[in-house]
Chains A and B, each alone.
Chain A
Amino acid sequence: MNENTSEMIYEPQEENPKVIDFFALLQDPRFDQEVLEQINNQIQEGGIQAAAQFLFERFGLNLKQMSNLPQLEQAQ
C-alpha cells in the first residue's frame, strides 16, 4: 500500500465521496486525456471558474447528463 493513500482517505469524511465521484465521473470516456489535460491547465491558469467555463463550453447541456454520476453498479 502506498503511504500517500492514507492522506487521501483521512480527509474529512464528507470530502471522500468527492474523490469517489471523481473516479465515477471519469468512467465516461469523453473525459479523455486531452480534456483532463485542458481542465488541469485551466485550473492552474485560471482556477475553478476557468475550468468550469471550459467544461461548459466543451460539453454544454450534455454536462448535466454526464455529471449525473453513474451508480456504482453501473461502474462495475
Chain B
Amino acid sequence: MLSSASATIPSSSVGNAGAAVTAELNQQYQQLKSALAKKNKSAHDWLENKFTNQEDLTTFARQFMAAVTLATQMAVTQPVEAQVQQNLAALEQKQRNNLLSQITTQELEEIMNKMVGYVNMDVGHLPKEEELYLEQQLTDLLGFGVVAELEGKRLNHSIGIMGGEQHLTRYPGDSLEDHDAYLEAGIAPNRGAFGWFTEEGELTERSIQMEKYYFAVQTLYLPDWNTNHQELKPWYKFRKMVAINPADRLAVVGVVGDAGPAMWVKKQFGGSPEIIREAKIWSPQARGRVILMFVDDPNDEVPLGVIDLNEVIEKLGVTENLEAV
C-alpha cells in the first residue's frame, strides 16, 4: 500500500453537498488504491518508493494527467489532420491530373487531327514552324526523338504516300519461303539498295527485324546524292525512321532498307509487307498517307515494330484520367 502517500478525504472540511462529493471521491480513491496494488504492482511499488511526500505525489499526478491529456489530443488529432492533409493532397493531385489529362487529351486530339490534315496536304514538308511543333508532339508522345532533319540530312519528303514493297533478300540465297509472314507480297529479285541485312555475315534476330520493318526512301532523288553519295549512302543505310499513320493512330519504327520508289509511281516512300499490313498503311481511311521522320536514337534503343498510339496514350494514363474527369 502507499503508506506515505495514502489519502482520505475529511468530510468535515467542506459543506454538506461538498461533503458528499468528498466522501464519494474518498471512497473511489481508496478503492482505486487497493486495486492498484493488485492490478499493477509495478506502478504501485514505484509510487510508494518515489513519493514520500503527498504534495509531490499530487503534483506528479496532475502533471501526469496533463501529459496524458495532451498526448491523447495528439493521438486523436494528429492522424486526422494528417489524413485530411493526405486527402487534400490527393484531391489536389487528382485535380491536377485531371487538368493535365484534359490538356493532354485536348492536345492529343488536336495533334491527331492536325496530322490527319497534314497527310492529306500536298506531299513534301510542313512549314518550319508546324514541323517543329509536330516533331515536339511526336517526341513527347512516343518517348524518343522524332525529327524531320537529322545531322543535317533531310529527305525530299516528310509527308507523302507510302507504297507497298516486296520482301527483300537478307543474305545471298535467301528465299521468300524463309520469311516469316506475308509471303503473298513476294520478294524482290535483287537485293536492297543498301546491301544485305546480315551482320558480319550472320542473319541475326536484329537483321531479321530490320528486313521485316524496312522503308524505301528516295535517296536517289536527293539533290546532293550524285555528288555526295559516298557519305550519304552509309548514313542512310539502315537509318532508323518512324512512319505515322494518323488515320489509324498507328506508328511503325523501321530502318531505311531500300531506295525508291521511282518518281513515276507517284509515291514518296515504300514500306515492307510487315509495315504496310501491320501499320494499316493502306486502310480505307489512311490510303497510304503517312508522315515519315527520322528517329533520333544514337544508342540504338528504340525497338523496331508497330506502335499503337492509343495504347501509348493509355499507358500515359490519359484515357483513364479522361474517364475520371
**Interface positions of A (Cβ within 8 A of B):** 1-2, 4-11, 13, 15-29, 31-33, 36-37, 39-40, 42-43, 48-49, 51-56, 59-64, 67, 72, 75-76
Contacts and interface: CB of A to CB of B under 8 A. Distances in A.
Interface residues of B, number: 54
B39 A29 contact: yes
A7 B67 contact: no
12 contacts: A2-B54, A4-B5, A13-B18, A16-B22, A20-B29, A31-B40, A32-B42, A33-B42, A39-B64, A49-B70, A52-B71, A56-B78
B33 A6 contact: no
A2 B3 contact: yes
Given A9-B10, A19-B58, A36-B46, A56 B39 contact: no
A6 to B, nearest CB: 6
B43 A31 contact: yes
Contact of B29 (A13, A23, A54): A23
A53 B42 contact: no
Interface string B11-46: 001100010011001101101110110011011111
B67 A2 contact: no
A55 B65 CA distance: 11
Contact of A23 (B32, B53, B67): B32
A63 B67 CA distance: 11
A55 B63 CA distance: 13
A32 B22 CA distance: 29
Given A18-B61, A75-B32, A64 B43 contact: no
A24 B64 CA distance: 12
Interface string B43-59: 11111001001110110
Given A4-B55, A56-B75, A25 B31 contact: no
B51 to A, nearest CB: 9
A72 B32 CA distance: 7
B96 interface: no
A33 B36 CA distance: 13
A63 B35 contact: no
Interface in B161-203: none
B220 interface: no
Q: Which of B36, B64, B65, B71 has the most CB of A within 10 A?
A: B71
